[in-house]
């Protein structure tokens, strides 16, 4: 199967591409603008594969998208290209509107025109447009609320989640109005190797490694469900190939934790793998900082639909997955050091200011 993956040089996109090529033997066209969070080193294991091609392009460029569809003739699209960091959306929402809404529209339009041009009945029957989204579109849960499910009403609270909610609605509109065969998925917080250091887990790992303060928003009571990126990649491919047209599938790790619990768990792992000194512990580095504006209290995912329909379940236990993730960052300084020496040094974002120079908090 020839699959066009947008945002394939990002954290989740690169995991999807590695899974497609190594485990599925599919042919992949990676369409990526190569923004700050993209890293081609995450694709070093597939870059020389005959099944892999990189197209450096912006999904907002309608002419370029049309050319890529015409040239490569994909059997399916997996749309992961997006601005994804909530804090950055607070400081600069424009990029999120442009990429997540306008870019998704341009990609949908190009996909629709390409789909209409297909004369081969079998190719039309096979074609799919899989839009990858987030659980943040559903808003916030109280501690006693049931998890999000596919029928949960949308209630986005940040510029990021609002832009993703908008793109979700556009995708479903292209199904109902134009007949474009689409599937949709919403996931919980991802973690694992190759994640850009602005996100909670890699940020805390790298700060702990250098004995820097470990900033936690508010009291650290915000709850997230944690999903290993490799489990997510497997789920996304199953949704693309086996999911029902017009359906949305929720993907989660069944691992709800408070942010503070996650940070403390990383500290305890670091005490074993990279101890500070005798009679000292990484937990002593935890520092509570001003909370993010509009910080949602809790997200949780009901995975019963994807389990029942597609037979998917997460394979990574959070405790073991977190240990393996910490170990990966400790062993792969060559991947993250250029990032810290270049475009991101752990500065605080999301304070609703043009320049945020304080320590970065957690998401």
**Given 87, 135, 225, 231, the catalytic residue:** 135
Determine, yes or no, domain membership for 13: yes
**Average pLDDT of the segment spanning 192-208:** 96
Helix orientation angle between 318-331 and 259-273, rounded to the nearest 10 degrees: 50
Among candidate residues 272, 251, 111, 96, the one with its CA nearest the CA of residue 180: 111
**Average pLDDT of the segment spanning 219-231:** 97
Residue-level pLDDT at 346: 53
Q: How far is CA 143 from CA 20, 109, 147, 224, 299, in A?
A: 37, 40, 10, 11, 9
**Average pLDDT of the segment spanning 145-166:** 96
**Given 91, 136, 168, 254, the catalytic residue:** 136
135 catalytically annotated: yes
Residue-level pLDDT at 363: 43
Q: How many CB atoms lie within 10 A of CB 68?
A: 23
Residue-level pLDDT at 87: 87
317 catalytically annotated: no
User: Does the pLDDT value for residue 330 go beyond 90?
Assistant: yes
Residue-level pLDDT at 358: 36
**Average pLDDT of the segment spanning 134-145:** 96
Residue 124 half-sphere exposure toward CB, CA atoms < 13 A: 11
The per-residue pLDDT of the chain, averaged, comes to 93
Residue-level pLDDT at 355: 39
Q: How many CB atoms lie within 10 A of CB 173?
A: 14
User: Does the pLDDT value for residue 107 go beyond 50?
Assistant: yes
Q: Are 340 and 206 in contact (CB under 8 A)?
A: yes
Q: Identify the band that residue 60 occupies on the pLDDT scale cut at 50, 70 and 90.
A: very high
Q: Which residues of 120-133 are buried (b: 16+ CB within 10 A; e: fewer)?
A: eeeeeeebbbbbbb
Determine, yes or no, domain membership for 235: yes
Q: Are 348 and 287 in contact (CB under 8 A)?
A: no
**Given 105, 114, 160, 329, the catalytic residue:** 160
Sign, CA torsion 13/17/18/19: positive
Residue 93: which domain range?
2-193+227-253+300-315
Q: How many domains does the chain have?
A: 1
Among 39-43, 195-199, 256-260, 354-358, the range scoring the smallest mean pLDDT is 354-358
Q: Identify the band that residue 361 occupies on the pLDDT scale cut at 50, 70 and 90.
A: very low
Determine, yes or no, domain membership for 137: yes
User: Does the pLDDT value for residue 354 go beyond 70?
Assistant: no
Determine, yes or no, domain membership for 265: no
Q: How many CB atoms lie within 10 A of CB 115?
A: 20
**Average pLDDT of the segment spanning 298-307:** 98
Residue-level pLDDT at 112: 98
Determine, yes or no, domain membership for 275: no
Determine, yes or no, domain membership for 285: no
pTM over 0.85: yes
Determine, yes or no, domain membership for 138: yes
Determine, yes or no, domain membership for 264: no
CATH code of 20's domain: 3.40.50.720
């Amino acid at each position: 199967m020839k699959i066009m993956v947008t945002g394939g040089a990002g954290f989740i996109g690169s995991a999807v591409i590695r899974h497609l090529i190594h485990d599925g033997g599919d042919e992949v066209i990676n369409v990526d603008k190569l923004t700050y969070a993209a890293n081609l080193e995450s694709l070093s294991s597939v870059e020389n594969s005959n099944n892999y091609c990189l197209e450096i392009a912006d999904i907002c460029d309608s002419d370029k998208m049309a050319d890529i569809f015409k040239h490569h003739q994909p059997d399916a699209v997996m749309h992961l290209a997006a601005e994804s960091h909530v804090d950055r959306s607070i400081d600069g929402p424009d990029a999120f509107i442009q990429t997540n809404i306008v870019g998704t529209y341009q990609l949908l339009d190009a996909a629709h025109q390409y789909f209409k041009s297909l004369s081969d009945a079998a190719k039309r029957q096979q074609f799919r447009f899989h839009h990858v989204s987030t659980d943040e579109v559903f808003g916030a849960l109280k501690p006693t609320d049931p998890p999000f499910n596919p029928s949960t009403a949308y209630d986005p609270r940040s510029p990021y989640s609002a832009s993703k909610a908008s793109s979700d609605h556009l995708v479903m509109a292209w199904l109902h109005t134009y007949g474009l065969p689409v599937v949709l998925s919403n996931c919980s917080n991802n973690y694992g190797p190759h994640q850009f250091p602005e996100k909670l887990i890699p940020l805390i790992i790298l700060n702990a490694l250098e004995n820097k303060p470990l900033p936690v928003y508010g009291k650290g009571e915000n709850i997230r469900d944690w999903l290993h990126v490799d489990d997510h990649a497997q789920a996304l491919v199953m949704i693309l190939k086996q999911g029902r047209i017009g359906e949305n599938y929720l993907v989660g790790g069944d691992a709800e934790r408070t942010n503070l619990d996650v940070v403390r768990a990383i500290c305890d792992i670091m005490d074993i793998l990279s101890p500070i000194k005798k009679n000292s512990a990484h937990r002593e580095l935890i520092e509570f900082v001003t909370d993010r504006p509009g910080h949602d209290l809790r997200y949780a995912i009901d995975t019963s639909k994807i389990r029942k329909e597609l037979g998917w379940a997460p394979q990574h236990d959070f405790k073991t997955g977190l240990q393996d993730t910490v170990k990966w960052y400790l062993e792969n300084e060559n991947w993250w050091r250029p990032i810290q020496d270049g475009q991101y040094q752990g500065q605080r974002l999301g304070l609703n200011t043009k320049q945020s120079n304080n320590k970065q908090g957690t998401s």
